[in-house]
């Protein structure tokens, strides 16, 4: 029996000719990642196990992004622990305020992760890097401590689900809509401890930013990881985002699934048939198309996070918000994923569009996504967010509600004051102009 793409990567890193689903292995890792919440725990366990030096100072990455810039004394203390550990261990990939970004947007941009890597991170959305053809998965802080010290980790080799993508997505449909559609189809436990492997001719119509969003939310279907094949788009992205650190240049291997690889289930998604999709509270599987939403009035919109804080998300939001105003009573918060994306938004005039529309444009941070800061919800408030989770109390009070959507729906909703698509606000504007013309006559 052949191997899936994920199984081939794991076999290569374990030094084995082949692996099978359910097998326990020890594999070398290429990158170990932690943030300001999980990192301090990993550092404590690192010393507790008797470790003195990390396995490779270039491959242990620390990014304080969840509560930064620090929101309170406790957050400052957590960030200080990372800062001191990075200095002591002489880590080359520590990203402080001013250089920082949201970790899963930052690492690909910096060229730290590449195709064929095995990446572990003490953050569940580490699976984002599957967009680059890497095996990337979240682990606990104790497992990460061992990885930082030893440069290896244990895994139970996952079985796999294959998702064949066909067709071309319509206007305003992004990777976020694709993954929400899939989660709505299979459920939040539909891929439990399995690899979701995306294939098919439709992939060529998905940008790298689309793929990052899709891979990022594989965990929301219970998956161990999500992964895309390495194609021309991937290679072009990797070429454009080469690491500044020469120690990280020598990797990059492309793996292809065998034709006789075993998949537990195979799904076919026609991208042309997917509509802008919204996940209702309080699970990402509670999906409805924009045509099924009805009148859901909102108090806040958040565009950002490790799922949708990339450049294409900013571009889509700016296109919709340009020349329009945020609805009275609605708070619009826009958070770019990295400093470079922030700078690009300033250069392209997007920052001015956001501010003139009545929104706020933030420094890169996870912010309100996890109920951290800069946008916490009060009881009874509703928010449309391009984030990845809408669990009970995720963004604030347990009596608040979070609706997950792509950047197009989020931006349109900020304008209309209720969950809407760009098509719907365009229609409303046209109808308003016609009524105005009628009155003037």
pLDDT per position as a tens digit, 174-226: 999 999 999 999 999 999 999 999 999 999 999 999 999 999 999 999 999 99
Q: How is the chain split into domains, by residue range? A: 5-244+261-270, 276-432
Identify the CATH number of the domain defined by range 276-432.
3.30.499.10
pLDDT score for 96: 87
pLDDT score for 9: 97
Local confidence band at 253 (pLDDT 50, 70, 90 cut-offs): confident
pTM over 0.85: yes
**Is residue 435 predicted with pLDDT exceeding 50?**
no
pLDDT score for 244: 72
Q: Do domains 5-244+261-270 and 276-432 have the same CATH topology?
A: yes
Local confidence band at 403 (pLDDT 50, 70, 90 cut-offs): very high
- Residue where the block lists tokens 């300001």: 36
Local confidence band at 81 (pLDDT 50, 70, 90 cut-offs): very high
Residue 52: Cβ-neighbour burial (10 angstroms; 0-12, 13-18, 19+): exposed
Q: Class assignment of domain 5-244+261-270?
A: alpha beta
- In the structure encoding, which two tokens stand for residue 171, read together? 């206007």
pLDDT score for 251: 66
**Is residue 433 predicted with pLDDT exceeding 60?**
no
**Is residue 423 predicted with pLDDT exceeding 90?**
no
Local confidence band at 312 (pLDDT 50, 70, 90 cut-offs): very high
pLDDT score for 431: 40
3-class DSSP string for the chain: CECCHHHHHHHHHHCCCCCCCCCEEEEECCEEEEECCCHHHHHHHHHHCCCCCCCCCCCEEEECCCCCCCCCHHHHHHHHHHHHHHHHHCCCCECCCCCCECHHHHHHHCCCCCCCCEEEECCHHHHHHHHHCCEEEECCHHHHHHHHHHCEEEEECCEEEEEEEECCCCCCCCHHHHHHHHHHHHCCCCCCCEEEEEECHHHHHCCHHHHHHHHHHHHHHCCCEEECCCCHHHHHHHHHCCCCCHHHCCCCCCCCCCCCECCCEEEEEEHHHCCCEEECCCCCCCEEEHHHCCCCECCEEEECHHHHCCHHHHHHHHHHHCCCCCCCCCEEEECCCEHHHHHHHHHHCHHHHHHHHCCEECCCCCHHHHCCCCCCECCCCEEEECCCCCCCCCCECCCCEEEECCHHHHHHHHHHCECCCHHHHHHHHHHHHHHHHHHHC
Average pLDDT over residues 353-378: 93
Half-sphere exposure of 432 (CA within 13 A, CB side): 7
**Is residue 168 predicted with pLDDT exceeding 90?**
yes
**Is residue 427 predicted with pLDDT exceeding 90?**
no
pLDDT per position as a tens digit, 326-336: 999 999 999 99
């Amino acid at each position: 029996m052949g191997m899936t793409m994920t199984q081939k990567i794991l076999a290569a890193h374990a030094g084995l000719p082949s692996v099978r689903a359910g097998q326990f292995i020890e594999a070398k890792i290429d990158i170990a990642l932690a943030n300001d919440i999980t990192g301090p725990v990993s550092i404590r366990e690192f010393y507790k196990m008797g470790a003195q030096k990390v396995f490779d100072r270039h491959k242990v990455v620390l990014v304080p992004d969840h509560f930064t810039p620090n929101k309170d004394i406790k957050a400052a203390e957590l960030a200080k622990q990372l800062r001191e550990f990075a200095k002591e261990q002489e880590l080359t990939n520590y990203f402080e305020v001013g250089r920082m970004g949201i970790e899963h947007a930052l690492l690909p941009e910096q060229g730290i992760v590449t195709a064929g890597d095995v990446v572990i991170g003490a953050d569940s959305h580490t699976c984002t890097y599957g967009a680059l053809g890497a095996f990337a998965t979240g682990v606990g802080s104790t497992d990460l401590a061992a990885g930082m010290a030893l440069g290896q980790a244990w895994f139970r080799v996952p079985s796999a689900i294959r998702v064949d993508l066909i067709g071309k997505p319509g206007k305003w449909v992004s990777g976020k809509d694709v993954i929400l559609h899939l989660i709505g189809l299979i459920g939040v436990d539909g891929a439990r401890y399995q690899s979701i492997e995306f294939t098919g001719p439709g992939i060529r119509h998905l940008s790298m930013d689309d793929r990052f969003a899709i891979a990022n939310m594989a965990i929301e279907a219970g998956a161990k990881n999500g992964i895309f094949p390495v194609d021309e788009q991937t290679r072009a992205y990797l070429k454009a985002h080469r690491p500044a650190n020469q120690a990280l240049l020598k990797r990059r291997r492309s793996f292809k699934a065998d034709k006789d690889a075993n998949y537990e289930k195979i799904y076919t998604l026609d991208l042309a048939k997917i509509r802008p999709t919204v996940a209702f509270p309080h699970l990402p599987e509670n999906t409805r198309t924009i045509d099924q939403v009805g009148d859901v009035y909102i108090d806040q919109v958040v565009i950002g996070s490790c799922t949708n804080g990339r450049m294409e998300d900013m571009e889509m939001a700016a296109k919709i918000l340009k020349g329009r105003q945020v609805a009275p009573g609605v708070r619009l918060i826009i958070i770019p994923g990295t400093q470079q994306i922030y700078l690009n938004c300033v250069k392209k005039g997007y920052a001015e569009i956001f501010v003139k529309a009545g929104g706020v444009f933030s420094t890169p941070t996870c912010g309100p996504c996890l109920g951290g800061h800069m946008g916490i919800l009060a009881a009874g408030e509703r928010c449309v967010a391009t984030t990845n989770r809408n669990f009970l109390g995720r963004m604030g009070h347990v009596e608040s509600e979070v609706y997950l959507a792509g950047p197009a729906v989020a931006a349109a909703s900020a304008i209309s004051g209720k969950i809407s698509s760009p098509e719907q606000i365009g229609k409303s504007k046209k109808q308003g102009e016609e009524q105005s013309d009628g009155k003037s006559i």
